[in-house]
Amino acid sequence: MSVTASQSVVFARMGDPEAHTIDRYVATGGYEGLRRALSMKPEDIEAATTASTLTGRGGAGFATGQKWSLLADAYPRYVVVNGDESEPGTFKDRQLMERDPHQVIEGALITAYAVRATRVFLYVRGEMALAQERIGQALVDAYAKGYVGSNIMGSGWSIDVVLHWGAGAYVVGEETALLESLEGKRAFPRIKPPFYPAAKGLYYQPTIVNNVETVSTLPWILRHSGEEYAALGAGRSTGTRIMCVSGHVKNPGNYEVEAGNITFRDLIYAPELGGGIRDGHTIKAFVPGGGSAPWLFEDHLDLTLDPGPVAAEGTMLGSGAVVVMDDSTCMVRAAWNLVRFYSHESCGQCTPCREGGNWMEKIMWRIENGAGRMEDLDLLLDVGQTISPGSFPHASNKATGLEATPWPYRMTTICFVGPSAVVPMHSALTRFRDEFVAHIEQGSCPVGAHA
């Protein structure tokens, strides 16, 4: 199997070990996008971004140009770059910040100029020491060379960039929690409405929160054109995006692909991409878009990486993290591991997430360790119903004729962290109920090997 090589947009400098230095960056076309932007009217940049069909790469996939157009007419207004990448299976933003930090800064500046922001904040996840070091050095150098600060590149436009290191909480990836954290408060996601930080964001001022990968795409779009970017890919998955492939594949790593042109089978099995399942094993399940995305299975390998058909199969492309589990994986334990993550990362603000996630984790731990009861299976689903009422999204099953329940879910929680704990439990239990039953009947884990 082979796929057509994708255009390199955001990952163009990945092979260059010196790309993080300002000299190397400038030598490879760096800050040209910004120079171009500063010669344009802000509204033309917004138009180009809208024309590019670029969507947010943090997970929600909101159209970037449209997000900018929602900004309330008030000042000061801010641009916040969300570098708190923590979604299980996702490691693209870290690589972008570590290896091409200037591209992040340049993208942020273009965004700020386009939306007439008065200040830029770069929020970098607390655990990413190298990314912090590189971003910090890059910013110092960019200030020194006049790319940031006063009268940028002689354009008369000035702006400052503020760095902020996170304190180590997954929930900060949720943009309103990030804003609270940036304000120096406990990172509790805000209650919606107001739905968009564009209306009321940082300090309740209009704010654009964009993902690292999203802003990193902008210099290329400015150097080329929105239309050129939109021509990449296909369907609703235009442009390129970075897919993080991990798990039981031969070549785990980040791959920039024109997602609309390839399928999950391409991504996982193509030699220049995932390279296939490790020898002697077959695929059992895979997470298609980060830990919060309901699982897909062998039946679904031929789905194109396009939000439409993926949603119809009850899941999402999310943050672009594909985690592959082969036949050696215990589904109970794998699901428990993810539930444990979301339970641990619950901020504790709302009841269903705080208590429900923790309860599910405890039940699944009991089942995995042979102390489960048959009634626990329906109990798990019922606890899930308290967090996320109504029919919960899941994929179809060819073998049983089970039809898919399309994405998205409903929730009783303030943010998506609560339902995200339901996702792995529900996916595993819907598809592999027999494996759960086997744990209970056998009084121990029948698989033995662990993900």
In the three-class reduction of DSSP (H, G, I as helix; E, B as strand; rest coil), residue 346 is classed as coil
**How buried is residue 74: exposed, middle or buried, by Cβ count under 10 Å (0-12/13-18/19+)?**
exposed
Task: Give the sign of the dihedral formed by CA 318, CA 320, CA 321, CA 326.
Answer: positive
Alpha-helical (H) ranges within 156-234 are 175-182, 212-223, 226-230
Task: Give the sign of the dihedral formed by CA 345, CA 245, CA 235, CA 40.
Answer: positive
Closer to other proteins by Cβ: residue 378 or 403: 378
Question: Which of 54, 79, 305, 363: binder of other proteins (CB under 8 A)?
Answer: 363
Residue 346 touching other proteins (CB under 8 A)? yes
Question: Which of 242, 332, 347, 404: binder of other proteins (CB under 8 A)?
Answer: 347
By CB under 8 A, the residues from 399 to 418 that bind other proteins are 410, 412-414
Distance in Å, CB of 272 to other proteins, minimum? 41
- CA nearest to 91, candidates 127, 43, 53: 127
Distance in Å, CB of 80 to other proteins, minimum? 22
- Binding residues with other proteins: total (CB under 8 A): 35
By CB under 8 A, the residues from 267 to 306 that bind other proteins are none
By CB under 8 A, the residues from 177 to 216 that bind other proteins are 186, 191
d(CA 97, CA 124): 9
Residue 352 touching other proteins (CB under 8 A)? yes
Q: How many helices and strands in the chain, by DSSP H and E?
A: 18, 10
Question: Which of 85, 345, 368, 435: binder of other proteins (CB under 8 A)?
Answer: 345
Residue 36 touching other proteins (CB under 8 A)? no
Closer to other proteins by Cβ: residue 415 or 447: 415
Residue 358 touching other proteins (CB under 8 A)? yes
Q: In degrees, to the nearest 5, what angle opens at C-alpha 286 toward C-alphas 172 and 411?
A: 45
Residue 167 touching other proteins (CB under 8 A)? no
Give the range of 17-25, 128-136, 331-339, 352-360 binding other proteins by CB under 8 A. 352-360
- Asked if 342 contacts 426 with a C-beta cutoff of 8 angstroms, the reply is no
How does DSSP assign 25-69, residue by residue? HHHTTTTHHHHHHHTS-HHHHHHHHHHHT-B-SSSS--BHHHHHH
Binding site for other proteins (CB under 8 A): 169, 171, 186, 191, 343-352, 354-359, 362-363, 366, 375, 379, 382-383, 385-386, 389-390, 410, 412-414
